[in-house]
């Protein structure tokens, strides 16, 4: 919007973005050598690679240097308590690991900051497209697209109110996950009444893309808090409605349903 004020990056967000970009440079180098990665099995269809671990270590080192007392909750290393009990970074160094390991160029870095149990800042970075989605509490949500000169622009969710014209994103339960039958019923209800459903393999990016208006809504169950912490915060700051499919606290249940107010009830009744 012409004349709209776009706030500059705060020191906190500058630090978070620098950490994500540094880790992403390591991920991109490994992505170019994906067939040579050392891969360890973490569970059925759930892999962890040296690339994940290296990226997480970079993020931890960068954030710990600039915010030395803060705690961490990370996908690979788990929880690391800090001397500052009021702040905790929530980190997913590689959301979309299966895509990464199969050479599919769709994955992200996700970092959120929790203050006294409430998310106050978050980013989701797509290193392939050099797109940085980010938000800070009560400041709105933004996208910095490096391909377009790196200017920040405010995220504008889609305003569609006709379900048959709307496009939704989700995640599909894989081997070792529960809820396959329930998901197929949900998918049938949504895809039979909408413009389509996409499953691209990174919940963090799905949430960021919904905030950006590329999708009209998103739902998924059985996620982890590091998958969604930054993404649901960005979606809320962009003005979307974010709820839990089970009706509880979405950060505890990790089962978000996200869309605008006009579509919420229509999507909700099809997936709950």
Task: Kindly state the helix (H) or strand (E) to which residue 40 belongs, with its residue range.
Answer: strand 39-43
pLDDT score recorded for residue 1: 40
pLDDT score recorded for residue 35: 74
Q: CA angle, corner 24, sides to 128 and 41, nearest 5? A: 95
How would you classify residue 161: left for phi > 0, otherwise alpha for psi between -120 and 50, otherwise beta?
Answer: alpha
Residues of the chain with CATH 3.40.190.80: 163-271
pLDDT score recorded for residue 68: 96
β pairing state of 256-259 and 217-219: antiparallel
What is the b/e burial string over 135-151, where b = at least 16 CB atoms within 10 angstroms of the residue's CB? bbeeebbbbbbeeeeee
pLDDT score recorded for residue 19: 98
| pLDDT tens for each residue of the chain, 272 residues long | 444 556 678 999 999 999 999 999 999 999 998 877 777 777 655 677 889 999 999 999 999 999 999 999 999 999 999 999 999 999 999 999 999 989 999 999 999 999 999 999 999 999 999 999 999 999 999 999 877 777 899 999 999 999 999 999 999 998 888 889 999 999 999 999 999 999 999 999 999 999 999 999 999 999 999 999 999 999 999 999 999 999 999 999 999 999 999 999 999 999 99
Please name the fold of domain 163-271. D-Maltodextrin-Binding Protein; domain 2 (3.40.190)
pLDDT score recorded for residue 43: 66
Residues of the chain with CATH 3.30.540.10: 11-154
From the number of C-beta atoms within 10 Å of its C-beta (0-12, 13-18, 19+), residue 38 rates as exposed
Task: Kindly state the helix (H) or strand (E) to which residue 86 belongs, with its residue range.
Answer: none
Please name the fold of domain 11-154. Fructose-1,6-Bisphosphatase; Chain A, domain 1 (3.30.540)
């Amino acid at each position: 919007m012409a004349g709209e004020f776009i706030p500059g990056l705060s020191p906190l967000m500058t630090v978070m973005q620098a950490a994500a970009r540094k880790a992403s440079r390591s991920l991109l180098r490994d992505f170019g050598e994906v067939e040579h990665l050392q891969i360890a099995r973490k569970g059925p269809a759930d892999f962890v690679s040296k690339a994940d671990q290296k990226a997480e270590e970079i993020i931890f080192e960068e954030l710990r240097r600039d915010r030395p007392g803060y705690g961490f909750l990370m996908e690979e290393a788990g929880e690391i308590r800090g001397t500052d009990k009021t702040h905790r970074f929530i980190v997913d160094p590689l959301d979309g690991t299966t895509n990464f390991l199969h050479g599919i160029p769709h994955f992200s870095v996700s970092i959120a900051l929790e203050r006294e149990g409430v998310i106050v800042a978050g980013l989701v970075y797509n290193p392939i497209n050099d797109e940085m989605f980010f938000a800070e509490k009560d400041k709105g949500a933004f996208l910095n697209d490096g391909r377009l000169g790196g200017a920040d622009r405010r995220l504008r969710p889609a305003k569609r109110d006709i379900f048959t014209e709307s496009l939704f994103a989700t995640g599909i339960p894989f081997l070792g996950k529960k809820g396959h039958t329930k998901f197929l019923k949900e998918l049938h209800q949504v895809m039979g009444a909408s413009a389509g459903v996409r499953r691209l393999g990174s919940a963090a990016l799905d949430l960021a893309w919904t905030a950006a208006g590329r999708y009209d809504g998103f739902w998924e169950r059985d996620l982890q808090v590091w998958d969604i912490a930054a993404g649901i915060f960005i979606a809320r700051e962009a003005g979307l409605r974010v709820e839990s499919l089970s009706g509880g606290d979405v950060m505890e249940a990790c089962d978000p349903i996200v869309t605008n107010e006009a579509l919420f009830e229509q999507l909700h009744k099809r997936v709950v």
